[in-house]
Amino acid sequence: MPNILLTNHYEGLPLEILMHQIPSGYQLEVLEQATQECLLQKAGNADYFLVSGRLKITNEVLSKAKKLKMIQRTGVGTDVFDMKALKSKNIPLYVNQGVNAQSVAEHTILLILACLKRLTVINNNVKNGIWQKQEQGLSTFELHGKTVGLIGLGNIGKRVAEFLNAFGANVLYYDIFCTDTAGSISVQSVALEELFSRCDIISLHCPLTVQTKGIINKSSIEKMKDGVIIVNTARGALINTSDLLEGIKSKKVAFAGLDVYEEEPVNNAELFMQKNIITTPHIGGVSYDSFHAMMHRAVENIVLFESGKFDEIERYKYAY
């Protein structure tokens, strides 16, 4: 019986949803705790890794997994993998390309609008008895007519661009890999320096690589407009947190919307103290709908692989 190891700890509704996707003839094993130690203990029994993206899949983990046939990512990020070790051991890796793009794109728009409308600040004011209609209203802005810069124009970036078009925003993007923007979206490709200088809002949708780590830093923030809004629903390490905090305090950055952080779970008291930073706990891609789809497609891939139906696997196989 093939053993599928979830490299995380699920309980309650998440585990229930996943369990409903496991067909008869397969065994699902879940970590008692989401720690590297537990992963190392369980790795040896696994025929398949179902990787949720929290724990690192290191060379040490892979060396323990003597039976491992294939790794299936529930999402798309590959920054948790030792890619050199995967390649040397010739272990195929599949990612769930585009599976949660709609959810992340919607969450991005939520954060952009919440920043423009000062939602959290005004919500707290009203609950504390501050009813200042004109004064508070005049501190908010419309998305229509704003220039929004997208760093990355993959599946998620393109959907964000579609939403922004509907709001009447002007969309610029920087993506060294994107060459095809055909379709209904209206976007303009620009150099990164131009994107920094022209945009009212900057939203991150690129993978975390050596080149993109810390792409939002003190130097790049200095090139931005005064009062810029920065939103990150991609990877936390794309932003240097201390430099962002400095930008918020100096009011160079008017507002920031963050769903991802350099370290997770985030425990940064100074960041939480800032009224002009809206935070959510890395849930952009985890709506009820997208979680169902992620678990279904991921398990379906494993079953197809086990059956030798490699040509029928629709999700993306990562090329090292």
235 tagged catalytic: yes
282 tagged catalytic: yes
Helix locations, the chain, DSSP H: 12-19, 36-42, 59-64, 83-89, 101-116, 119-127, 133-137, 155-167, 192-198, 218-222, 241-249, 269-273, 288-306
Residues 29, 193, 263, 264: which is the catalytic one? 264
- Which structure tokens are listed for 98? 């585009």
Q: How far apart are CA 90 and CA 302, in angstroms?
A: 17
CA 18 and chain centroid, separation: 20
Q: How far apart are CA 102 and CA 107, in angstroms?
A: 9
Q: How far is CA 12 from CA 9, 15, 17, 20, 73, in A?
A: 10, 6, 9, 13, 21
Q: How far apart are CA 15 and CA 11, in angstroms?
A: 5
Q: How far apart are CA 320 and CA 311, in angstroms?
A: 19
Q: How far apart are CA 173 and CA 175, in angstroms?
A: 7
Bridge-based pairing of strands 201-204 and 228-232 is: parallel
Residues 205, 282, 297, 315: which is the catalytic one? 282
Residues 73, 159, 205, 235: which is the catalytic one? 235
- Mind telling me the catalytic residues? 235, 264, 282
